[in-house]
Amino acid sequence: MTDVTSQRSAKPEARTVGELRDSNYRLIPVKEELRKNLIFKLTQAEPLFPGIIGYEGTVVPQIVNALLGCQDIIFLGERGQAKSRIVRSLTTLLDEWSPRLVGTEIPEDPLNPISRAGKDLIAEQGDDAPINWAHRDDRFGEKLATPDITIADIIGEIDPIKVAEGRYLSDELTLHYGLVPRLNHGIFAINELPDLSERIQVGLLNLLEERDVQIRGHQVRLPIDAFIVATANPEDYTNRGRIITPLKDRYGAQIRTHYPETIEQEIAIIEQEANVLALSGFQVTVPDFMKDIVAEVTHHARRSPDLNQRSGVSVRASISNFETLVANAFRRALVLGETEVVPRISDLEFMAPSLQGKVEFEAMEEGQEDKITDRILQAATKAVFDRSHKLNDLEPIANAFDEGLTIEIGEAVYAEDYAAIVDKIPGMADRLTSTTPGTRASEVEFMLEGLHLNKLLNKHSVSGRATYSS
């Protein structure tokens, strides 16, 4: 039974094999190390994957089960579902420091070396052989699967320089080790696994089952201790037959990731990840309904039949759209000499380039992309408006336009000018909850646009300005 003990965090003082042996330190297999530290975090109610939002009740329990079962994992999910972030965060479950034998090409357990070089070093120097301590971040490596990857990159190859120096081809010391042996007692991740050629996939079979690697015609068999993780797009992994069945069979757990299931989760990710410009002398305020609209745009895009849903609509679309929205509000403030930066409905159209760069359209006719984008923006705005307001409460505002009232707004209109607009519309002032000129301007545009999308007002747009009328 695994002991529920704290993670080894303090850097030990042992500097030789003898000192390490005297300290009663024992290196355990990496999967057992991950499991031990996972159990400790669970018992202490510590967060397992900080910064990962929306997976608490779905993906995280599956990861925990796989780690408790010491299983290799493949994560299946469309782009922008935090697969790489999860994989990289697995290092937090490693001991902070781990001993390595100094003088070997691959990381070696000082008390149980596996390579010829390591065994020779211990035979020559014994307990005086030096060791160092590797930080857990150095025990993680990843490789993006590309067509040019070779077995030499992953496993190893004969080093021609060592042969030129006079070693025989039969000598194990002529070998140059690849990524996996160099991550012995660590975590190795392969991104986009199905993109590996079948020949390379075959080369991974022994690694996942027998836990060793073989190089060329050498009889060397290195019992590699590694936790193997992979990521893949589910379409490539399951539908196109681009992964060989024996390799698929060797992964212990297949975990499906997903996009944020709620608007609140999407907003939380936006707030965590967005890079918003901050300048001295400017106050940036993003009303909650504008954040909701940005998140709702992405959720509508994920349901749109006009977009290719097989490629997905990444969370990065939400982040980029939010950054663009705030950037346009900043541009307006800089041009107009205002200090308050508040996004408005009239800024939404400037999100089109960032949104279109993150999705794939089904329709290829010229001009269709802009029309589809407009429909998504309008549908998202209407959905947020309908959640925020009751039309009956806004009837006095709509009725005021029946008497010939027209209102012109625009993304380049001064925030102060909206005070006059509020005075013109009976009942508008009573419906506003904001207090500053910028936030009130944003709220006015939101209500007018909501009434238009509910077919209570007409709207005519031209050159960055919009006119609302009966």
| 96 lies in some domain | yes
| 335 lies in some domain | yes
Identify whether residues 315 and 252 lie together within a single domain.
Answer: no
Identify the domain containing residue 444 by its residue range. 263-469
Identify whether residues 268 and 207 lie together within a single domain.
Answer: no
- Single pTM value for the model: 0.86
| 5 lies in some domain | no
| 55 lies in some domain | yes
Q: In this predicted structure, what is the pLDDT of residue 1?
A: 44
In CATH, what number is assigned to the domain containing residue 202? 3.40.50.300
Identify whether residues 152 and 298 lie together within a single domain.
Answer: no
Identify whether residues 107 and 138 lie together within a single domain.
Answer: yes
Identify whether residues 211 and 271 lie together within a single domain.
Answer: no
Residue that terminates a domain, selected from 213, 231, 256: 256
Identify whether residues 327 and 369 lie together within a single domain.
Answer: yes
| 234 lies in some domain | yes
| 11 lies in some domain | no
| pLDDT tens, per residue, the chain with 470 residues | 445 666 666 678 899 999 999 998 889 999 999 999 999 999 999 999 988 999 999 999 999 999 999 999 999 999 889 999 999 999 999 999 999 999 998 899 999 998 888 999 999 999 999 999 999 999 999 999 887 888 878 877 766 666 566 665 556 666 778 888 889 999 999 998 888 888 888 878 877 777 666 666 555 677 889 999 999 988 777 655 578 888 888 888 999 999 999 999 999 999 999 998 888 899 999 999 999 999 999 999 999 999 988 888 999 999 999 999 999 999 999 999 999 999 999 999 999 999 998 988 886 666 788 899 999 999 999 999 999 998 888 888 888 888 888 999 988 899 999 999 999 988 888 889 988 999 999 999 999 999 999 999 999 988 778 999 98
Identify whether residues 298 and 201 lie together within a single domain.
Answer: no
Domain count, the chain: 2
Residue that terminates a domain, selected from 256, 286, 310: 256
| 353 lies in some domain | yes
Identify whether residues 407 and 324 lie together within a single domain.
Answer: yes
Q: In this predicted structure, what is the pLDDT of residue 79?
A: 87
| 458 lies in some domain | yes
Identify whether residues 245 and 340 lie together within a single domain.
Answer: no
> If DSSP states are collapsed to H, E and C, what string results for the chain?
CCCCCCCCCCCCCCCEHHHHHHCCCCCCCHHHHHHHHHHHHHHCCCCCCCCCCCCCCCHHHHHHHHHHCCCCEEEECCCCCCHHHHHHHHHHHCCCEEEEECCCCCCCCCCCCCCHHHHHHHHHHHHHCEEEEEEHHHHEEEEECCCCCCHHHHCEEECHHHHHCCCCCCCHHHEEECHHHHCCCEEEEEECHHHCCHHHHHHCHHHHHCCCECCCCCCCCECCCEEEEEEECHHHHHHCCCCCHHHHHHCCEEEECCCCCCHHHHHHHHHHHCCCCCCCCCEECCCHHHHHHHHHHHHHHHHCCCECCCCCCCHHHHHHHHHHHHHHHHHHHHHHCCCEECCCHHHHHHHHHHHHCCCCECCCCCCHHHHHHHHHHHHHHHHHHHHHCCHHHHHHHHHHHCCCCCEEEECCCCHHHHHHHHHHCCCHHHHCCCCCHHHHHHHHHHHHHHHHHCCCCEEEEECCEEEEEC
Identify whether residues 295 and 437 lie together within a single domain.
Answer: yes
Q: In this predicted structure, what is the pLDDT of residue 158?
A: 64
Residue that terminates a domain, selected from 256, 287, 310: 256
Identify whether residues 251 and 269 lie together within a single domain.
Answer: no
Identify whether residues 212 and 84 lie together within a single domain.
Answer: yes
